[in-house]
Structure 1
Amino acid sequence: MHHILRRWTPGLVSLLRYRRSDLGPDLRAGLAVAAVAIPVGIAYSELAGFRPEVGLYSSLFPLVAYAIFGSSRQLVLGPDAATCAVIASAVAPLAAGDAAAYAALSAQLALLTGVICILASFLRLGVMADFLSKPILVGFLNGIAITIVLGQLGKITGISGTGGHVFHATFDLLVRIGETHPPTLLVALGAFGVMLVAGRLLPSFPAAVLAMAGAALAVLLLGLDLAGVKTLGAVPAGLPGLLLVRIDPAAVAELVPAAGGLALVSFTSMMLTSRSFASKNGYEVDPDKDFAALGVANAVSAFTHGFAISGADSRTAMSDAAGGRTHAAALFAALAVGLALIFLTGPLAFVPVAALGAVLVMAGVSLVDLTTLRLIWRADRAEAAISILATLGVVTLGATQGILVAVVLALLRFVRLTARPRVEILGRVEGMPGFHSLSRHESATAPHGLVIFRFNGPLVFFNAGHFRHALLAAAGGEAKPTAVIIDLLPVTAVDVTGLFTLKEVTEVLRARGVEMVGAGRQTEWRNWMAERGFNPDGLSIYPTLRHAVKALSEPAAENAGSPDGGPSEMKASS
């Protein structure tokens, strides 16, 4: 029984072993997380196109679900800027302005995202946490940040009717800038000022809480709502009921791609956060279990009137900074959010929309990571270009299509790295043991009459042609070699196409009077080929490059019968 619980509910196992000494730190962390989750949940709910209470619903029961099923002690789930932007981009065109349809489609999207995550966990696709490279993820989040900031300009200026594509909405707003509503703009500027000052003077206190509370107080005392400043209005009190999610077959075809993109992006960003804090605090997380936990949390959100959620880095950081030690911190945060829904919804009615816009702008700005982009530029300009392309894809095509752009870029990057592995010709460098690349060491010299060829990657169908061309080119120089030695240590895998390529190259070189041998992975290759009954015409495999060079540089008779330096040779059986 314990084994089953540990496999499926690692968080619950941790909670069953709860220590009283963790109660104080976890309670403080939970209250700190709730202080951030409440204003952020309301703001992100606005971003996703929902009423404010929906953001709080999405910050409540999903936390409980992850605390039971997740493996990270500190990760906090909830509404996230990227997921909210994707939800709005995917659902709004299908709902066509119908609020009921919007809510129903969003619930379907969250449920489909959860199902995809759970299936991915069963298929052990936790490796997808490494799928989106750092440059692509940075570029994607930078694009989301730009989209969020531009999308809030209408709210903070009070200019209505600036919807549509972000470029069109921004251009329309600039054309109509004279229609700015001064009281609304002043409220937004005041919220910005409060957040900037609070961030400096009270860095440990959630600035968004002060900004929204101050703006609500201004509306209440100064009657700004009567002056045309839009507010959230009445927020229903109480916990969400159970929602029976109905799947609309006509909408599934449109929602599944968005759900798949949400699953990939939310899981990838969630694992970046959870791994960072797990490393900091000295424990490990399980990607496959967390994939399932994310799926369960999304399904729970769908059934409790919420929307798709992800790992929340700011709330996780708050939990860590407040001393949170276990999954119980998320439970205390959920309890605090639930109490706020029951007792504190009255004051939310006075929160101006402009203040929420200011909170979202600050959240968007915090997502922009130019520092990392500069580091990527210095390290590899091609990777930096990919990051910028990911940003442009999100900004120009929207968040949903931006995920597709990010995935395509990730695939192209993978193909570029694996289809054209680095090829090196090796030689000796005086004073340095072993063999080294001739291109990186000017003083390196190749052994007389030999070409030592290193292929830094697996030899498989999509790079076998590159291997053949590079090897024959290396063996076809003016100084015709007597033998070619392939360094097999970097060749981590070989498929059938790779084997046939080895066979073809061996025959071509033999026709030229050039012998071809391998070096390294001797036992592995012998066993691998024996299992498959395949060997490229007796290709000899030496244990090391040194053995191969020595054998081919001296008369063959001197090495015959050598127990440690002789080759492993297998005759062809196919």
Structure 2
Amino acid sequence: MKPAASTRSQPHHMPFLQGLLPVNAAQLPHDIIAGLTLAALGIPEVMGYTKISGTPTVTGLYTILLPLVAFALVGASRQLVVAADSATAAILAGTLTAVAALGSKEYIGLTSTVALTVAVMLVIARIFRLGFLADFLSRSALIGFLTGVGIQVAAGELAGLIGLAKEGHGPLMQLVSVVQRVAGANYPTTLLSLVVLAVILGCKRLAPRAPGALIAVIGSIVASGMFNFAGHGIAVTGDVPGGLPSLFVPPLHANEINQVLATAASCFIVIIAQSAATARAYANRYNEKGDDNADIIGLAAANAAAALTGTFVVNGSPTKTEIVDDAGGRTQVAHLTTAVIVLLVLLFLTKPLSLMPAPVLSAIVFMIGVKLIDVKGMVELYRMQKDEFVVALLAAGVVVFVDVMHGILAAVVLSLIAHARHSYLLRTRVLTRGPTGHLIPHHVEPNLLAAPGIVVYRFEADLFYANTGRFTAEVLKLANEASVPLRWIVIDATEINNIDYTAGKTLIQLGAELDRRGLGIAVVAVPTGVRHELDRYKALRISGTHREIFATVDEAIDALRDLPPSTSASAPPPDTKPPGSPAK
């Protein structure tokens, strides 16, 4: 059981180093061990991501060098690990190939340009405090999107597992291509892939803390050197540049601007949503105050560092964050430790990496893809919330059958549609007085009175353009279909926190329509902000009528019980139209 208490010994108010300070001496050894663990598990993983992104193997190592340091110094989260990510890597490969060949020098330069563009977008998001945008990509849509990415990633590595070149566009065509060419599989490559998969899965089942991928990488490199895998038809990584990455500003040509912006925008959405969700989860776990907007600056710094060192977009990684947390890491000291290990690998160990067999990376990436396929999450959605399961399924389908960029757009649009649907399909009630004197809610039906001549109608959502039609229709239904005498319709607006322009005009029109019928309208328990909006729209200020705002339903009933709705039926203002007609 992980402790729920905060690891901070005292508050830290600096705008940077929030993930590092104050340093807890007792925690320091645990953070260092967690950093070593992250290096052991993360290095093979980020190298695998380069197969997804279509960039040189060494660029994967670059994603957990300066970007990791940049976020540790500038970001606010003490736990979030920022590094290469499968979703953003897949977006790059699925979009930039429209303007450059995968793996070409131009393509690699474009991946860095996208990272720099993402950094600029993140800075703009911070200036305008847009951290809340993370809330508009629903968890169900994200589950579907990542499941689709997982299927795409896993299908894309099937050919590499058996020593064939990848062919076909999209997961289905790639799968068909592998099945058609399976007779031409390279048997040594296939055998090696099976051994690597067995090692990874065996470690996961028998020794979950053991770095199965790292064991497979080291073992395969040793075997490749001893038995000359390259001479037996097994492809190897080839030369991996050593030393520190060169610093440069990535180029951008006019004919590439649209594609770069579209790709960066897709990555931006995933980064905002996934990073914020992960950082919030771990801040809550350890009773720490999160800061989405400060983390956005950290993510911007990390992506700028990635761009300037020739690598691709980085993102807050849920899996790597959990690796560090599970190993006992509680601050960004763990991530700085990982960066030191990566630096040592770049300076002294890139030559052995050149002997690494290609099918080893294919096996690692295949397992990454399988892990992204969230069967448990999809089943849970189907069991608990079938409409959100449909959202997840549609998002996954767009990724699989179209592409990743349209998949993220579909995820966002479906999330907004789901949000609008929940706002539109709100709950409304009519309140009556029970035998004990308490108010009892009922479905909206006429002739349900809270007191003689008084109907109380409760609207349980913000009133805006999309639901004003329902609001008007239900209030008029109560008035039109009543078979008992009515004098007042009381709107219980306890749950209404905002009224937009369309809704304000609708209230004016509705009041005028009720005036024609000799009925009064009153409002109950409106929050201060909405009271101000009602006054601004003058929704309750009509000459010759008695309209006011009450604190409670009981107060409204007591005040209106013996009060006539108006001294005289007033005509509607000259610019008032019947309810439902367009407002001026």
TM normalised by structure 2 equals 0.89
Given the superposition, is the C-alpha separation of residues 447 and 358 from structure 1 closer, same or farther in structure 2, using an over 3 Å criterion? farther
Aligned position for 1:139:
144
Distance between the aligned counterparts of 2:34 and 2:331, measured in 1? 10
Bigger helix share: 1
**How many residue pairs get matched?**
552
Deviations 1:49-92 (A, max 9, x none): 11110100111111101001111111111111101100111212
Offset, 1:164: 2.6
Aligned position for 1:567:
none
Deviations 1:77-119 (A, max 9, x none): 1111101100111212211356110111111111111111111
Aligned position for 2:483:
479
Aligned position for 1:170:
175
Offset, 1:415: 2.1
Letter of the structure 2 residue corresponding to residue 380 of structure 1: Q
Aligned pairs (5 A) from 1:151-550? 151-430=156-435, 434-439=438-443, 447-480=451-484, 481-521=486-526, 525-530=530-535, 535-537=540-542, 539-550=547-558
Distance between the aligned counterparts of 2:79 and 2:430, measured in 1? 49
Query: Which stretch shifts more, 458-467 or 245-254?
Result: 458-467
Contact 1:426 1:454 in 2 (8 A): yes
Distance between the aligned counterparts of 1:429 and 1:44, measured in 2? 64
Aligned position for 2:579:
none
Letter of the structure 2 residue corresponding to residue 439 of structure 1: H
Offset, 1:400: 1.1
Offset, 1:428: 3.5
Distance between the aligned counterparts of 2:74 and 2:38, measured in 1? 19
**Matching of residue 551 in structure 1 with residue 575 in structure 2:** no
Distance between the aligned counterparts of 2:377 and 2:451, measured in 1? 44
Contact 1:156 1:184 in 2 (8 A): yes
Aligned pairs (5 A) from 1:59-98? 59-97=64-102
Offset, 1:416: 1.6
Offset, 1:21: 2.8
Which secondary structure state, in structure 1, belongs to the residue aligned with residue 455 of structure 2? Answer: strand
Deviations 1:428-486 (A, max 9, x none): 3445x743331399xx9754433221222111223222321222123322425332111
Query: Which stretch shifts more, 422-431 or 235-244?
Result: 422-431
Which secondary structure state, in structure 2, belongs to the residue aligned with residue 414 of structure 1? Answer: helix
Letter of the structure 2 residue corresponding to residue 539 of structure 1: R
Distance between the aligned counterparts of 1:132 and 1:157, measured in 2? 37
Offset, 1:405: 0.9
Contact 2:77 2:283 in 1 (8 A): yes
Contact 2:449 2:455 in 1 (8 A): no
Letter of the structure 2 residue corresponding to residue 549 of structure 1: I
Contact 1:460 1:495 in 2 (8 A): yes
Offset, 1:521: 2.1
Distance between the aligned counterparts of 2:301 and 2:410, measured in 1? 27
Distance between the aligned counterparts of 2:444 and 2:457, measured in 1? 14
Letter of the structure 2 residue corresponding to residue 555 of structure 1: D
Distance between the aligned counterparts of 1:115 and 1:22, measured in 2? 35
Distance between the aligned counterparts of 2:224 and 2:408, measured in 1? 39
Contact 2:428 2:444 in 1 (8 A): no
Offset, 1:526: 4.5
Contact 1:114 1:296 in 2 (8 A): yes
Offset, 1:143: 0.6
Aligned pairs (5 A) from 1:116-131? 116-131=121-136
Distance between the aligned counterparts of 1:447 and 1:383, measured in 2? 41
Distance between the aligned counterparts of 2:138 and 2:433, measured in 1? 36
Contact 1:535 1:573 in 2 (8 A): no
Given the superposition, is the C-alpha separation of residues 88 and 201 from structure 1 closer, same or farther in structure 2, using an over 3 Å criterion? same
Which secondary structure state, in structure 2, belongs to the residue aligned with residue 214 of structure 1? Answer: helix
Task: Report the RMSD for the aligned CA atoms in angstroms.
Answer: 2.5
Which secondary structure state, in structure 1, belongs to the residue aligned with residue 523 of structure 2? Answer: strand
Offset, 1:214: 2.4
Contact 1:29 1:320 in 2 (8 A): yes
Given the superposition, is the C-alpha separation of residues 536 and 231 from structure 1 closer, same or farther in structure 2, using an over 3 Å criterion? farther
Deviations 1:102-159 (A, max 9, x none): 1111111111111111111111000012111111011111111111111110110112
Aligned position for 1:566:
none
Which secondary structure state, in structure 2, belongs to the residue aligned with residue 278 of structure 1? Answer: helix
Contact 2:154 2:370 in 1 (8 A): yes
Distance between the aligned counterparts of 2:110 and 2:313, measured in 1? 11
Given the superposition, is the C-alpha separation of residues 445 and 372 from structure 1 closer, same or farther in structure 2, using an over 3 Å criterion? farther
Distance between the aligned counterparts of 1:281 and 1:423, measured in 2? 39
Distance between the aligned counterparts of 1:127 and 1:428, measured in 2? 41
Q: Where do 5+ consecutive residues of structure 1 fail to align?
A: 560-570
Distance between the aligned counterparts of 1:315 and 1:14, measured in 2? 16
Which secondary structure state, in structure 2, belongs to the residue aligned with residue 459 of structure 1? Answer: coil
Distance between the aligned counterparts of 1:276 and 1:97, measured in 2? 36
Distance between the aligned counterparts of 1:136 and 1:346, measured in 2? 42
Given the superposition, is the C-alpha separation of residues 124 and 524 from structure 1 closer, same or farther in structure 2, using an over 3 Å criterion? closer
Deviations 1:239-296 (A, max 9, x none): 1010222222221111112211111112211122111111112212101111121111
Given the superposition, is the C-alpha separation of residues 361 and 525 from structure 1 closer, same or farther in structure 2, using an over 3 Å criterion? closer
Given the superposition, is the C-alpha separation of residues 447 and 189 from structure 1 closer, same or farther in structure 2, using an over 3 Å criterion? farther
Given the superposition, is the C-alpha separation of residues 337 and 522 from structure 1 closer, same or farther in structure 2, using an over 3 Å criterion? closer
Offset, 1:165: 2.6
Letter of the structure 2 residue corresponding to residue 365 of structure 1: V
Query: Which stretch shifts more, 238-247 or 20-29?
Result: 20-29
Contact 1:114 1:294 in 2 (8 A): yes
Letter of the structure 1 residue corresponding to residue 293 of structure 2: D
Letter of the structure 1 residue corresponding to residue 520 of structure 2: E
Contact 1:438 1:445 in 2 (8 A): no
Distance between the aligned counterparts of 2:495 and 2:261, measured in 1? 39
TM normalised by structure 1 equals 0.91
Offset, 1:365: 1.6
Distance between the aligned counterparts of 2:534 and 2:277, measured in 1? 39
Given the superposition, is the C-alpha separation of residues 14 and 409 from structure 1 closer, same or farther in structure 2, using an over 3 Å criterion? closer
Letter of the structure 1 residue corresponding to residue 321 of structure 2: T
Distance between the aligned counterparts of 2:450 and 2:427, measured in 1? 18
Aligned position for 1:563:
none
Contact 2:96 2:263 in 1 (8 A): no
Contact 2:497 2:530 in 1 (8 A): no
Given the superposition, is the C-alpha separation of residues 16 and 389 from structure 1 closer, same or farther in structure 2, using an over 3 Å criterion? closer
Letter of the structure 1 residue corresponding to residue 478 of structure 2: A
Offset, 1:323: 1.5
Offset, 1:418: 2.4
Aligned position for 2:117:
112
Distance between the aligned counterparts of 1:191 and 1:169, measured in 2? 22
Contact 1:427 1:445 in 2 (8 A): yes
